[in-house]
Amino acid sequence: MNPVDLTTQLAGITLRNPIVTCSGTYGFGEEYAPYCPVDSLGGITLKGITPLPRLGNPVPRLAETPAGLLNSVGLENPGLEEFLKTYLPKVRQLPTEVIANISGFSLEDYVQLAQALQKDSGLAALEVNISCPNVKHGGMHFGTDPGSAEEVISAVKAATDLPVIAKLSPNVTDIVAMARAAQRGGADVLSLINTLLGMQIDIHQQRPVLANTFGGLSGPAIKPVALRMVWQVFAAVDLPIIGMGGIVTWQDAVEFLLAGATAVSIGTGNFVNPQAPLEILRGITDYCRQRGVASVGDLVGLAHS
């Protein structure tokens, strides 16, 4: 039986396979080591970093839904200085491609983070979380306004020599407009989708379950939305896509590849089954063998033909 070529190219980044993990669901890589060998993954995306440490939102922060998870963690993280001092020396030793995720509340925040994270850091790329409120412009989220999205991606691109991945929010009217804005800003790769805004109410307490009222919905519930958006963006924008949103089985992952994703990212699935990335990779490999597909890259966008 001929081997399947799983090698995946993302804007000059060579992944051993198309399986990546979502930011915020895999810590800084070490946490999952006992359950899922990091060297079996194409790459991992680190927990998001902001310039200053953040304690995050008050609890409760998590709420299960019938087919997903609501989270309102609030970007809890050690901050840039502590990341550079304590975490970066460890993550750069991980035997896989490591993507840093950065978040900010002003253009200056993003530039500061990007300037501190260059190729000599040992990182493979920067994923820019633009689903954050711009405190200097009335709290409008960078990721819901094409002009703001283009501006922040352009600023990050100018501040770092690493490939830039723009992580797109689904909480918009037109995902293609946001993808095109990120492309104009110079993004090398697009990742989509981030979580959908949702909420849950405790009917006994008669108030929201989450302390922050609203949270991001992830898990299988959002997969059809994510798949549709990947399909639309692939058809409209000539950039590689990391598809995410409700991928918990290999069949889910294959759907995203066929829709146009070059790589797929596992998020909430890691919480349910820490070995999900391995099982998904095996499933994709078997699918390719059974179909006589020599390279996983041959699946990308195939459903459009």
241 alpha carbon, distance to own chain's centre: 10
Q: Is the pLDDT of residue 209 over 60?
A: yes
Return the SS3 of 295.
strand
Q: Tell me: the pLDDT tens digits for 127-157?
A: 999 987 665 666 568 999 999 999 999 999 9
Instruction: Quote the CA–CA distance of 66 and 247 in Å, as a whole number.
Output: 16
Q: Are 112 and 79 in contact (CB under 8 A)?
A: no
Q: What is the mean pLDDT of residues 181-195?
A: 98
> Which segments are annotated as binding site for substrate?
47, 71-75, 129, 194-195
- 36 catalytic, yes or no? no
pLDDT at residue 140, as a whole number? 66
Instruction: Quote the CA–CA distance of 8 and 292 in Å, as a whole number.
Output: 18
Per the listing, tokens 């550079």 go with 84
Question: Of 22, 36, 132, 288, which one is the catalytic site residue?
Answer: 132
Q: Tell me: the pLDDT tens digits for 231-265?
A: 999 999 999 999 999 999 999 999 999 999 999 99
Q: Tell me: the pLDDT tens digits for 58-87?
A: 999 999 999 999 999 999 999 999 999 999
Q: Tell me: the pLDDT tens digits for 23-62?
A: 999 999 888 888 899 999 999 999 999 999 999 999 999 9
pLDDT at residue 253, as a whole number? 99
Per the listing, tokens 């597909």 go with 293
Q: Which CATH superfamily is domain 8-57+75-200+218-304 in?
A: Aldolase class I (3.20.20.70)
